Structure 1
């Protein structure tokens, strides 16, 4: 992660740490993340992209991150909002809304969209001979709106910021166009960037962000503006193919193909839209995108690259990940010199090592992954943890450092994870924890033993030191759930969900005496998960009780008794809450349902018994649930049912 990306993510109010965001992205398994983790990663990746320092490729963002949220909760607010550009300053209302664009990644999806446009024409009795489609490049620049007097950022699609200073600095309109042509993007010539600026900037988006910055911009960017390599390109002036919808339908690919090379600017797809005003009005828009418009995108660039070495890196969980150091190679607009190898079993079985030739695909991660090995070599496997030099052990496909308490790589991240997961105090972020570790702090309980004098001796100011000690007191006094306290210790496979399940049957103290067999008997715990959790509890037991005995204000999870709950209407039933509730927050209602023996889900499936609907729930979601045999209840009907 670059310093800029770290700074951007650190500036956000996220429930997980910067390191946790990166760990999750490298894991690349969004379907296994909690809702909290998924939203945090979406917020982080979007913020970095908007600021000009993208963490992931568009395809990974759309196909893996957004689609995971869509599958869980199609009406989630994140999916309905326009993703804002990151510019500081006072916001002002845009002359007209600037929405995002719906996306397609296959010709089949485009053909389905064409069919929807035809259907809309038929509903309006408009002959297909009157329906034109316009295809233009989808510029990969900085979205803005020019009304002739003011240049606005897109912002959230309704309110943006005034960046007219870009025109004041000499920014020209593309193709000698006039001002006031509405929406467009700030872009820079690819040829100019490659020739004059590629040695200074990682990608062109960094320059686009610099053009509108409030502070003084670099001379090289000023010259690019003066040379009219940087321009504001109104969408109205874009080269295009415009023709009848039936002509497009005959060969979609042939109509799209020429548009890919139509401009000397970075593009990340092509835009298709109907030009018929009545069809536009009929189809309208969601809060996120226009239904009469769609973007077609592809992302399949790869390269064959030589491996220089394989570097082991220990994560917070103790997993040692192999990172291949590569001959620097240009791929998807960025110079790639490192790539994540999935795990050390892949290194061993596929022969990844110095001199190996691998196929590299930038499938969306900061450190792209190796698709396959073209030329194998004899691999080199580490014997010891690169951080603490402990002997490594195999766990399935992975090499693991078992030294949970004294491994520096695990220690710092474990401390950050603890305070971030508690979420009831401020101050102990990555920078503070890093400084503590540099001064010999190794464990959570060590931090709670610190006083202002200790902190000031390590370079903290008096005010900061007093505040940090106060926040430690706050973390113990402010009430938090016992399952959250347990999750803060970062035990593998023991996040908040699994912790709550266990604590519905056992107290915190009792968990450390549970056997694997006893845990497997609890609904939701398979053999492998139980083994990992029991081992993880044993590893942190000493530290856990040292911290536990400091006297935290814990809210005890209500115990489930099948004999007490067997007669309740929700016992053993799976329920899903959706929409805005009036009798309490959705989170509170989910917690209450659990106390009645229900299993609470986040999305409707064939196993769902009841879908409880609040306000603003779409008919499609309700009908889809009924199609699966799910009983749909309003909030009032549900409350009446449970008494």
Structure 2
């Protein structure tokens, strides 16, 4: 369901598809089956629209609503005679709630035409450019591109610069008076600033909750034992519809304005000009808009914001494209529901509904036991998802999810899928509670918190727990550690010990049939040395894993044992090491020369990630020096003083290195040839010592990791967020909210050219350098 501009018109160039019972009768009239299907669709769309707009509690996902609405439109397009005068396709938005005073907008608030492919965006643009009225007038089109805020549409009415009313969109003509609640949002001025504002003006915009504030608010709710809010959009809408403005004031609401209704006496010629005017009046204008000349540039804006959509201040679900000039907008006009001069491209959905079939637990590399949901497979954010995290038992309880629930599933880009919460209205009484196990599902040892007060429970059998070993081996091969391309999770399973049951009888969980050739990660690099050994080859040849049997390219749900490291023997060919196996041992040998910080990350020390590891490697230069520091009387104080380390990580380092078998890992890796120190480049000076530098966006030649490393080896701190202590922000393409915050705090902004100057010459080299143009 569209949020910024409510309903779903038909997508462009959509070809009619047959529906069950949709065939006309012999006289060409719609069949009874089709009429019944049509009425059912009308009823469903009305029900779900009411749940979404009036109750702020949707029963289905936006994507599912899109499908229902598109089917309804398609039937109406095929059979115009069937269209009822009160069809949902003829309406805008939802109904006005009886709980609020209804108010009429001075000018109608329209919907937007939604499209779901780039081809449809181009088709709409070309149709707009081909408009006869525009050709006759000789207009050159400029396109105003904006991000589509996932919030609640609101209309602000100002008279003589004073805010006199705020209303929801409602049905487009009549909205709900929510003035008292909107007044709690500090960014919305009650009196316009500056000058030249019209005597009467309607300002349209979206009320939303910023992503970071939403996450923090939900964390606070969970800590208080309360159910978290489902998503920012519903949270914003529910906040504005609170009966008590004091309750609304507790929510971290913001607003961006993006349009005007009535604007008596306004002389601006383009919509982008009005944005500059509104900003001068003190209204909060979105920083995420751009005027472009061509459709190729429109597609570029869509692509750039799609790649960095989660770097923005708020959630978005698409891009709005408008003709910028008001004269062109007037020439193009409106249909009964949508302006012909605007379109909304929607990204693939990141939030869907599906059935929660079961809740199981998994054991991580540090022993942490995490519940995860097993769901009916569903496509979200471009991939099919069957499992999603539930973090810990307290989160399961706070979210109120039960096994058997229909749940809201969210997958934002590459982020791990997460179960947001249940759809309570769809419960039928068959659901059951999840009970956290008390014993490790891998080794059977008791589960307990690592220390008093910890929320997470852990398997303390770290050295011998098969799943923890598998997880640690997979981790050391990952991109953030040794970056061993052929050592993924399946390879880690094959290498480690732990016979597993048939996945068809194990909830689809694939475990190695084992045993593997190693019993500790300390042996990983020794494999590369002993690979020619016939005994090792024989051990590798005997390792089998479960593989799903496929038929015509699709999985069957049945599994069979297959060799992992060797090819399958046939009547004509003997079993030999696979190409992947040969690559694994080549990559293991190459990985021995990785820098020290990657070695530290690979050790799976709790809390020690790339940032702390880089800081340690920069400070000490070798594993020997780190161990010497750990043995010193002032170890904790000295480690805690290292920028990027601190007291918690210092304690974690001391604790980890106090365990004998942990030290054996380091020793055996060194014996196997792993380089445990960094070559010192005397030409690199520490002229960024003590400076906090943030890198954001996409730089032309530096990867994010390379940029951070360049900062750290020069003594600087590669920070993740902008604050008053930030010395510089290095901003690439699609820098997002971090750039906005840096500008607001007066932090100096550098592009890549300025960044290189800073690296080579220190602060003096960029002193007085102006911020790059946005």
What's the TM-score bracket when you normalise by the shorter of the two chains? 0.3 to 0.5
**Structure 1 or 2: more helix by fraction:** 1
Q: TM-score, normalised by structure 2?
A: 0.41
TM-score normalised by structure 1 residue count? 0.48
Structure label with greater radius of gyration: 2
